[in-house]
Amino acid sequence: MEAEIAAFVRTGLVALAALLPITNPPGNAPIFLTLTRTMDEPARRAMARRVGLNCLVLLVGAAYIGNYVLAFFDISLAVVRVGGGLLVAATAWRLLAAESAGGGDSPGATRQATPEEVAGRAFYPLSFPITVGPGSISIAITLGASLPSQGAARLWSSLGLLAGIWIAAVAIWLAYRYASHLVRLLGPSGTAVFLRLSAFILLCIGVQICWDGVAELLAPWRPIPR
């Protein structure tokens, strides 16, 4: 029994250590606030809860069926990195280029969002690709593929992986749920600076993910040194 519990704890901690840095809930909190700035507080709380649930489903699905989906469509992880990296970079670029006085509601205005709007925006772009992007999905697929093949070890390791993903999703929900508190601490100017930095870092992450995928795709054509 001790071995099974050890496998549970070890797998859960590995999942947390791998997923939390790349999902980066505190760093994405200002981006979440910017994309929901026209919503009132109840709608924003509902959005945070929906994003947490979406991230949980995405990561669990990637861990347990991601390999089969990619194999069915004959898609490699390198292609996922290229496509996902471009999507992340495009989203970050829109955030960087956005005009604060752009169309739509005025910056200080809030309104009641419809359930359809909450559901739609909660998945794209907040859940995917901003929070759970190609990097997180690749890690989840790798974690699922590294589980033991059978027996009690697989059962307990699978439960540990589920627990680690669940805790990561809770961390995402909490960071987004209390993002407004972070903004109040930073103030308007500090929030603007933090948002721009976060968007720029997100852009760099997207470019890096895309470059890693391109490098992996071009690896077979790399000349062999003599």
Kind plus residue range of the DSSP H or E element containing 36: none
Handedness of CA 151, 152, 153, 157 (dihedral sign): positive
pLDDT computed for residue 113 by the predictor = 59
pLDDT computed for residue 112 by the predictor = 59
pLDDT digits (tens, 9 = 90+) for 165-213: 999 999 999 999 998 887 788 777 777 777 788 788 878 878 888 898 8
pLDDT digits (tens, 9 = 90+) for 73-132: 998 888 887 887 888 788 788 878 864 434 444 334 455 556 666 667 789 889 998 899
pLDDT computed for residue 52 by the predictor = 96
pLDDT digits (tens, 9 = 90+) for 24-59: 888 888 889 888 888 888 889 999 999 999 999 999
- Considering only residues 190 and 139, tell me which one the structure prediction assigns the higher pLDDT: 139
pLDDT computed for residue 109 by the predictor = 46
SS3 label, residue 111 = strand
Residue 115 neighbours by CB distance under 10 Å = 10
pLDDT computed for residue 80 by the predictor = 83
SS3 label, residue 147 = coil
For the chain, the straight-line distance linking the first and the last C-alpha, in angstroms and rounded, comes to 54
Residue 207 neighbours by CB distance under 10 Å = 15
